[in-house]
Amino acid sequence: MSHDKQRSTDAGASSGQPADADAEFDSLLPGLRRRDFVKAGAAVGGLGGLAGCTSLLSDEDVEGTASASEVDSSVPPGEHDEYYAFLSGGQSGDVRVYGLPSMRELARIPVFQPDAGRGYGHDDESRQMLEEAGGYTWGDTHHPRISQTDGDYDGRFAYVNDKANGRMARIDLTYFETDAIVDIPNQQGTHGACAQLPDTDLIFGVGEFRTPIPNDGSGDLEDPEEYGSVLAAINPESMNVEWEVLVDGNMDNGDGSKEGQYFFTTGYNSEGGVTEEEMTRSARDNVKAFDIPRIEAAVEAGDYETINEVPVVDGRQDSPLNQGDEPIVHYIPTPKSPHGISVTPDNQYAIASGKLDPTASVIDIAAIDEVDDPADAIVGQPQLGLGPLHTAYDGRGHAYTTLFIDSQVVKWDIEEAVEAEAGSESPVIEKIDVHYNPGHLIAAESYTENPAGDWLISLNKLSKDRFLPVGPQHPENDQLIYIGDDEAGMQLVKDSPAHAEPHDASICHKSKIDPAKTYDPEDLDLEYTDQGEETMERVDDDRVEIEMYSTRNHYGFQEMTVREGDTVEMQVTNIETTSDMLHSVAIPDHDIHMRVAPQETRKATFTADEPGVYWIYCAHFCSALHLEMRSRLIVQPEE
Ligand code: K7E
Ligand code: CUA
């Protein structure tokens, strides 16, 4: 492994970044060194108050510092991208699919919110799924992770959390659609989401908000001492919560070790406070390393309390299960409020980013069970810059960390960080400016045992002046950076505006995903209705069942007559076998848009409560006779 010891002074040239970021910082805040700035207590609430030192500049002063890169990222018309990138949609509640390196948005997969574009939440099945998952109209997706087998993406499923309502969803990657959602008991603010590796045996939901458990008003609601947060382990097939572990403090992000033993979470508020001031009082927080086999043994042995039908194991520091030399949860002390955590591809280290501290903590995974003092498992603490949030890998021994406050991505050498003194800047190889204030970043296949090492996306929270103005809500800016050439250094390749608000992503080579071109009727519960098999039947005094097909350019019935007040169950099969030949059933004034892709069958149940004539039509433009693809729904008035 050869490491190029380029520093930001020379490596920055290609990106046109300031030669000396320290000097730039000094000029912004005369007399204050950046390190002093952190020490001076600016770190407390600093992320809020600072929202990036870029905000110390007026919009006009913020110059695009990157010149166009030489790297060819073009994907000619008609050609395919090399990678799929799955990005969370934040408060939009969806997952987006980009092609990489073009950054073209290929799909938006609705997860926690209805979406007429895909008929999601408009047919009985998806409506029922959303209803049973709590009936909310939105979610806050942060961390989409693709299932793995043997430490590599298997292209079967993606999982994503809902921070807003404590849920976890599964996306079926054969059909690119959400097929299961679990509302996690005893957990509010499901933030981190990740799998037990290498074979995705469990999905973990990381509980961020501390609440009374159970949170049903039965205990003392005022006393924060009575609050807790849990890690939830979910079965990836059934999507049932198998067990939970109660811990001290808030948890934040999470990642699994590559061989199945540990699950790591960062945390803040070990103080157990309820105000910003209380939550940041202590200079230390911790990373928790959950020992999964030991937790499962405790569950097996009946060492738990059942709360809301889930076995909850006590993993707090004073729990009997954490005394002695085989604790179920190791509490590894770190500087205050670490945010992102990710395990290196070779499973040697878990790296936690400092957020309110300018360092990252490199935890030696093999040492966790060996050391007497958990603090000794931290074997490196490089000084990276201001506001380190998340870290990704290229598989060549480098780590890439976002610096929220500095608006930079820093590339550093992992082994060098282990060899250097704590607090040393020597592991830093180079820094590149991003625009502006990055949250997550993700490198191609960085979450697997073999990262691709070519592309990296920085998910920037502010775009400020980068795009045509579109009113007070600016787009986010997802920036593509080429990291495949250690000589040339990181190269900014393109800006890509994004709808609010991607947090994290998983990037998977196209060869590992095999999407269906049409539905396999065997995969659907509803029965296929072919041409000639259509039926319309009054099954009850006030209930009509319709089963019909759709094809270019008509439906199985040209008209359907029901009575005012009838409940109508309308089931439609798209009998097309040609890919991309979608139809839909749009029913005016009934709030229904049922999409049917080729070979797909869907059903929607509605009440015909207003007499009149309603032109059912197809909203997917399917052929030259698309406008003629209609059918009359006649609702006769009650006698
Ligand atoms: Cu940093 Cu949810 Cu991973 Cu947002 S989290 S950025
Ligand atoms: Cu079918 Cu338009």
Q: Are residues 439 and 304 in the same domain?
A: no
> Among residues 584, 564, 568, which one has the least CA distance to residue 576?
584
Query: What average pLDDT score do residues 460-487 get?
Result: 97
What is the span of the domain harbouring residue 623?
521-636
pLDDT value of residue 55: 39
The CATH code of the domain that includes 212 is 2.130.10.10
Residue nearest to ligand 1 atom 5, measured at CA: 503
For residue 109, pLDDT beyond 70: yes
Q: Are residues 8 and 39 in the same domain?
A: no
pLDDT value of residue 28: 36
Is the CB–ligand 2 distance for residue 596 below 6 Å?
Answer: no
Q: Are residues 286 and 357 in the same domain?
A: yes
Query: Which pLDDT tens digit goes with each residue over 532-558?
Result: 999 999 999 999 999 999 999 999 999
Q: Are residues 536 and 560 in the same domain?
A: yes
Task: Say how many domains are in the chain.
Answer: 4
> Among residues 385, 480, 381, which one has the least CA distance to residue 430?
385
Asked which of 55-59, 269-273, 357-361 is least confident by mean pLDDT, the reply is 55-59
pLDDT value of residue 27: 38
For residue 415, pLDDT beyond 60: yes
Q: How confident is the model at residue 283 (pLDDT cuts 50, 70, 90)?
A: confident
- Average pLDDT over the chain, rounded to whole? 90
Query: What average pLDDT score do residues 171-186 get?
Result: 98
Q: Are residues 160 and 282 in the same domain?
A: no
Those residues with Cβ within 8 angstroms of residue 222's Cβ, 6 or more apart along the chain or in another chain: none
Asked which of 515, 547, 574 is the last residue of a domain, the reply is 515
Joined together, the tokens standing for residue 373 give: 């003092």
CA angle 272, 274, 279 (to 5 degrees): 60
Ligand nearest to the backbone CA of 189: 1
Q: Are residues 240 and 370 in the same domain?
A: yes
Is the CB–ligand 1 distance for residue 339 below 6 Å?
Answer: yes
Task: Give CA separation, 431 vs 73, 201, 322, in Å.
Answer: 21, 37, 41
Strands 152-162 and 145-149: antiparallel
Q: Are residues 440 and 321 in the same domain?
A: no
Q: Are residues 123 and 171 in the same domain?
A: yes
For residue 7, pLDDT beyond 60: no
Asked which of 341, 356, 374 is the last residue of a domain, the reply is 374
Of all atoms in ligand 1, which is nearest to the CA of residue 253? 3
Query: Which pLDDT tens digit goes with each residue over 15-46?
Result: 333 333 334 333 333 333 344 333 333 333 34
User: Which strands, in side-by-side order, build the sheet including 592-596?
Assistant: 559-563, 630-636, 612-617, 583-587, 592-596
- How far, in Å, is the centroid of ligand 2 from the Cα of 584? 6
Q: How confident is the model at residue 269 (pLDDT cuts 50, 70, 90)?
A: confident
Of all residues in the chain, the percent with pLDDT exceeding 70 is 89
- How far, in Å, is the centroid of ligand 2 from the Cα of 576? 11
Are the C-beta atoms of 483 and 455 separated by less than 8 Å?
yes
Joined together, the tokens standing for residue 76 give: 């000619």
The sign of the dihedral angle between the CA atoms of 183, 186, 190, 196 is negative
The pTM for the full model equals 0.90
- How far, in Å, is the centroid of ligand 2 from the Cα of 574? 10
For residue 514, pLDDT beyond 50: yes
Q: How confident is the model at residue 95 (pLDDT cuts 50, 70, 90)?
A: very high
pLDDT value of residue 602: 98
Is the CB–ligand 1 distance for residue 480 below 6 Å?
Answer: no
Is the CB–ligand 1 distance for residue 142 below 6 Å?
Answer: yes
Considering all CA atoms of the chain, what is the largest pairwise distance in Å, rounded to the nearest integer?
88
Asked which of 374, 391, 416 is the last residue of a domain, the reply is 374
Q: Are residues 18 and 86 in the same domain?
A: no
Q: How confident is the model at residue 69 (pLDDT cuts 50, 70, 90)?
A: low
Q: Are residues 556 and 629 in the same domain?
A: yes
For residue 68, pLDDT beyond 80: no
Q: Strand pairing partners for 456?
A: 443, 481
Asked which of 20-34, 85-99, 160-174 is least confident by mean pLDDT, the reply is 20-34
pLDDT value of residue 536: 98
Residue nearest to ligand 2 atom 1, measured at CA: 583
Of all residues in the chain, the percent with pLDDT exceeding 90 is 84
Q: How confident is the model at residue 430 (pLDDT cuts 50, 70, 90)?
A: very high
Q: Are residues 225 and 303 in the same domain?
A: yes
Burial classification of residue 430, based on how many CB atoms lie within 10 Å of its CB (0-12 exposed, 13-18 middle, 19 or more buried)? buried
Is the CB–ligand 1 distance for residue 503 below 6 Å?
Answer: yes
Is the CB–ligand 2 distance for residue 582 below 6 Å?
Answer: no
3-state secondary structure 475-530: CEEEEEEECCCCCCCCEEEEEEEECCCCCCEEEEEHHHCCCCCCCCHHHCCCCCCC
The CATH code of the domain that includes 572 is 2.60.40.420
Round to whole Å and give the CA distance between 119 and 127.
Answer: 10
Query: Which pLDDT tens digit goes with each residue over 577-631?
Result: 999 999 999 999 999 999 999 999 999 999 999 999 999 999 999 999 999 999 9
Q: Are residues 86 and 175 in the same domain?
A: yes
Is the CB–ligand 1 distance for residue 430 below 6 Å?
Answer: no
